[in-house]
Structure 1
Amino acid sequence: MSLGDEHGGRGGGAGQTRTRLPDSGSPDAYGPPHRAPRASRSLITVVGVVVLLIAAIAFANRGPGTDGDDSDAAPRAKTAPTAATGVPPATGRNGPVPAGFAHDEQGAQSAAANYAVALVSAEILKPERRAEIVGQVFTPDQAGPMREKLDQAYGRQFLDKVGLDDDGNAAPGMTYVSRTAPMGTKVVEASSDAATVEVWCTGVFGTAGLESTNPVTNDWFTMTLNLRWADGDWKVAGFSQKEGPAPVNADRKISSADEIAKAVAEFGGFTYAR
C-alpha cells in the first residue's frame, strides 16, 4: 500500500493495501492493485480499501510547505542506470531507518530508496512507530506538521475500515502486510544541498488470514521525494506518488494466506543503495 503521498492504499503520506504516504499536494495517483484473473472475485473489496487509503494520504498531504522546491536545483540532462557501486549506502541507523547517507547525488538516491520503504511500511500505521519514523525521515520544519496530518489521516475511522486496532495491529490470526521494494532511482534535479529523486517501487499490501476481506495484492508505483541536506543527512521536505510503470501481471498460482504471512515473518528487509 502507499502512503498517500507517503502512503496509499496504501497508507501514510497519504491499509491492508500498501501504506501510501500523503502526497505533497499532487493528485492521488494510485489506482486499484493489479491482480491475477483468478483473484478477481476480491477486486471490489480491494478497490474499496485502496480508495480509502488514497483519500487518507491525500488529506495528510494537504497544505503548504511540503513541496521541497529549491531555486538552486538544476535540471538533470539525463538519468543514469541503477547499478551497484560498492559504496556503502549508509553509515548507520536512526532507529528503524538507515541514516548517514553520503552528501552527494548517490547518497541522495540511497536515502530516497530507504525512505520510500519506511514511509510505505506497515509500521507507519502504528502511532508510536509513526512518530519515530516521521521524526527520522523528514526535515525538522516538516516533521511536526506531517506527524499531525498522518495522525489525523490514520485515525480510528481509518483503522476500523482497514481492520486494525488503535495500535495499528491486525486482529488475532491475521497479518497486516505492507512491504515495498525499490526497483530503481532517478535524480530529477540536484544541487549541493537539495535533490529531487524518483523511486520506482513494487510491493505487497493487504491482510493475510483466512477471514481477511482485504487479501494481499501487489502494486507498482513511483514516489518522488524532495530531499534537503539537514542536520548532517538527507531528509524529506515533501513527496508525492503516482501509479506505475507496471508490467503485465502474470497469471500465476496464488499463495495461501499462511504462506504470505510466513514469508513476511521469515524474510527480512534490506538497506538499499544506489
Structure 2
Amino acid sequence: MAYTRQADANVITQQYMDSILIESRYIDSVKANTEIEFLGETFSMPVMTPAFSHLSNYNGREKTGLEEYSEAARDLNILNFCGMMENDQFKKLVDTGAKTIRIVKPYADNGKVKDQMQFAESVGAFGIGMDIDHIFGNDGYDVVVGEEMSFQTSEMLRSYVELTKLPFVVKGVLSVADAVKSADIGAKAIIVSHHHGRVPYAVPPMVVLPEIKDALEGRDVKIIVDCGIATGADVFKALALGADAAAVGRSMLPSLESQGTAGVCEFIKGVGNELRYIMSSTGFENVSDIDSSVLYQV
C-alpha cells in the first residue's frame, strides 16, 4: 500500500494526545476537587468553552448556539469565551450572566478592534483578547466573513492591553517566542492553539506546552490549551503538561446542536467528572497539584 502524507494538524494532534498514557496511584488518594482560581475568580473546573463565532439557531430554537453555550457556562460556573461577532450579539452573551472573555479578530480596521474591546468592557465582559492566528490566509492577509484582517505587532497588542482594565488574552500562541512576547506586552493569559489546524503540520499544542510553561515561569500568565480537547483525560493531560485550564471545542457541538444549553451542561459535566475520577485515581487532590510524573509517552 502506498504511503499517504497526512498534513491535517488535527489528526496529528489526536495521535499525539492518544500516545500519552496515565499511571494510577490509589493508596493514600482521596476524592479530588476540580475547583480552580483563575484571574481572580473561582470556577468549578479547569474546563472552559471555546471562542466560537457565527453559530446559528439550531433546530429552530429561539436562541443562537452562542447564547445557549453561554448559558451553560453560567450554570456550570466555568469561564466562557466567544469569538467574532458584532457588539449587539456580544451583549446578548454577557446578558446571560456568564463570565465571558471576548476574543476579537485582528481586523485591518484597527478602530474596529478598539471599539469592540471598549464595548466589551462597557457591558461587563470578564476579559478581552486578540485572535493572532487568524491574521494570514492563503492569498496574504485573511478575509473572514467579508472582513479584512491585518498584521499585529507587539506594540499594537500592548496598546490593547493599555486600553482596558480587564485581563487581556492572546489566542493562537503556538511557540515559546509568541508566549514570551505575550507576557512582555502585559497579557494575563494565553491560549495555546493551532485553531483547528489552520497551518498544515502544525505542532500539537501539548508538544510545545511544557516549553511554554517553563518559559513563562514566574511571569504570572495563565495558560489555556485547546484543539482536540474532548474528554476529562484530555484535560488531565493538558494540566499535567503545564496548562492551567483547557477549552473544549468542536467536541461539544453535537450536544449543543441537539439539546442546546442542557446538552452542553451534560457534556461538560461529563468531562469534569472524568477529570475528577482521573485526579482521584492518580493521587492529585487539587488541580494545582497535578504534574507530569504520572504520564508516559508510547
Shorter-chain TM-score: which interval?
A: under 0.3
Comparing both structures, which one devotes a greater share of its residues to helix? 2
> Comparing both structures, which one devotes a greater share of its residues to strand?
1
Superposition TM-score, scaled by structure 2 size: 0.25
Bigger Rg, which one: 2
Structure 1-normalised TM-score? 0.26
